[in-house]
């Protein structure tokens, strides 16, 4: 697969962002949803901010208090063996259960705008920010789908109640209308198709099962973007492969003559994240026509291999112009980068591996 990474990658780094909160540092700007509005490319950046600590043995977990409408800090001592701090992203009960207690950073969404698709100016204020008890731990990984003249934005809502998915819609990225909490915990990676199929909206989603079933991609349909049902298993992990541990939606589905092109993420037991591809039937998206055996993109350069959580390429959106897909992706849970791929080449790889 011929991948043309932008020469000035990473396009946006934590050092390019002024923290929104006093006494915090930006540790990641990544996993951006993408929209094209008039002549502008708009990135919906996930920005992760962490409270600064003057004590090397103390870290703080930021939590949004929706009643007071403020962010509060919960203190943890790194020498407290009741808690597991091995994953830099989370604080968990140290009993082997991997029960989430808190996150070490608070995520929200800022917009970045560009006229050339490579040089971006980041807004000073958040576009989507924690707002209720279901987003008290943050708003993460936005995906954006244009349906006619509206943009539907899905995002992960994280709180003590679990990890669910919410949605808003907008026409101008200034005013938003809240659709609702569309998928209950545990779920994430929701991607809405850009048009109705047989009179229904469709979406990919990833139930996060903790027992049987694994971390796979499912399909659901809706009459109104709020009420989702008719859930069907779509694509699963594959043993002894680059996607053996988990898979989930990446970019909104791309309509081609051969079918709906699905570009998704997968990870193995070492949490190495790559991008894969599959093809769905245009009229019956629950039918998988083809799927590539090998990833279409892997973390191979330094900014993809080293960072807050290394060995990660994680695409959430892109712009299609003819045969060219410009994909924007998170690198190592730290920065935002861009690349260009040929849709024809992706489809050829799928055809070869039916």
- What confidence tens digit (pLDDT) does each residue in 215-271 have? 999 999 999 999 999 999 999 999 999 999 999 999 999 999 999 999 999 999 999
pLDDT at 1 over 80: yes
**Banded pLDDT at 352 (limits 50, 70, 90):** low
Query: What's 347's DSSP letter?
Result: H
Q: How confident is residue 351, by pLDDT bands cut at 50, 70 and 90?
A: confident
- Picking from 225, 217, 218, the residue whose alpha carbon sits closest to that of residue 147 is 225
Instruction: Outline where 125-164 has alpha helix (H).
Output: none
- For 333-341, what is the mean pLDDT? 97
pLDDT digits (tens, 9 = 90+) for 38-88: 999 999 999 999 999 999 999 999 999 999 999 999 999 999 999 999 988
Cβ contact 13:29 at 8 Å? yes
CA distance 288 to 275: 17
What is the residue extent of each domain of the chain?
A: 4-352
Compute CA distances 196 → 147, 223, 285, 321, whole Å. 9, 9, 11, 21
Give the per-residue pLDDT at 353: 53
pLDDT in tens, 277-331: 999 999 999 999 999 999 999 999 999 999 988 999 999 999 999 999 999 999 9
* pTM (predicted TM-score): 0.95
Distances (CA, A) of 125 to 97, 103, 164: 37, 22, 24
Mean pLDDT of 161-173: 97
Q: Tell me the percentage of the chain whose pLDDT exceeds 70.
A: 98
Answer yes or no: are the C-beta atoms of 247 and 266 closer than 8 Å: yes
Q: Is the pLDDT of residue 354 over 60?
A: no
The predicted pLDDT at position 100 comes to 73
Angle at 68 between CA 67 and CA 69, to 5 degrees: 95
23-51 residue pLDDT tens: 999 999 999 999 999 999 999 999 999 99
Residue-level pLDDT at 206: 97
What is the arithmetic mean of pLDDT over 134-156?
Answer: 98
CATH: 3.40.50.300, 2.115.10.20, 1.10.150.240, 3.30.420.40. Which one for 4-352? Answer: 2.115.10.20
| Cβ atoms within 10 Å of 22's Cβ, excluding its own | 6
How much is the pLDDT for 343? 97
Q: What percent of the chain has pLDDT over 90?
A: 92
Q: What is the pLDDT of residue 33?
A: 98
């Amino acid at each position: 697969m011929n991948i043309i990474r932008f020469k000035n990658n990473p396009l946006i780094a934590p050092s390019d962002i002024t923290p929104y909160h006093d006494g915090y540092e930006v540790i990641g700007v990544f996993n951006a949803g993408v929209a094209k509005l008039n002549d502008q490319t708009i990135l919906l950046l996930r920005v992760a901010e962490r409270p600064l600590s003057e004590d090397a043995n103390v870290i703080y977990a930021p939590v949004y208090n929706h009643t007071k409408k403020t962010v509060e800090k919960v203190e943890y001592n790194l020498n407290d063996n009741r808690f597991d701090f091995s994953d830099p992203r989370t604080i968990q009960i140290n009993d082997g259960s991997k029960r989430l207690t808190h996150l070490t950073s608070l995520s929200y969404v800022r917009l970045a705008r560009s006229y050339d698709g490579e040089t971006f100016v980041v807004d000073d204020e958040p576009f989507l920010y924690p707002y209720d008890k279901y987003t008290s731990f943050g708003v993460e990984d936005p995906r954006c789908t244009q349906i006619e003249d509206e943009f539907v934005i899905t995002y992960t809502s994280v709180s003590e109640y679990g990890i669910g998915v919410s949605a808003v819609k907008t026409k101008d990225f200034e005013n938003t209308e809240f659709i609702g909490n569309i998928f209950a915990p545990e779920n994430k990676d929701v991607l809405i198709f850009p048009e109705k199929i047989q009179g229904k909206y469709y979406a990919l989603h990833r139930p996060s099962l903790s027992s049987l079933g694994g971390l796979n991609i499912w399909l659901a349909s809706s009459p109104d973007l709020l009420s989702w049902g008719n859930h069907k298993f779509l694509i699963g992990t594959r043993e002894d492969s680059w996607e053996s541990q988990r898979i989930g939606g990446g970019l909104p589905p791309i309509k081609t003559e051969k079918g709906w092109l699905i570009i998704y993420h997968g990870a193995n037991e070492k949490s190495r994240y790559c991008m894969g591809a599959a093809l769905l039937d245009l009229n019956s998206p629950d039918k998988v026509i083809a799927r590539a055996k090998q990833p279409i993109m892997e973390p191979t350069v330094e900014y993809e291999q080293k960072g807050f959580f290394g060995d990660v390429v994680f695409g959430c959106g892109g712009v299609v112009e003819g045969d060219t897909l410009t994909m924007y992706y998170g690198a190592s849970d730290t920065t935002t980068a861009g690349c260009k791929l040929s849709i024809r080449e992706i489809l050829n790889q799928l055809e070869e591996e039916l």
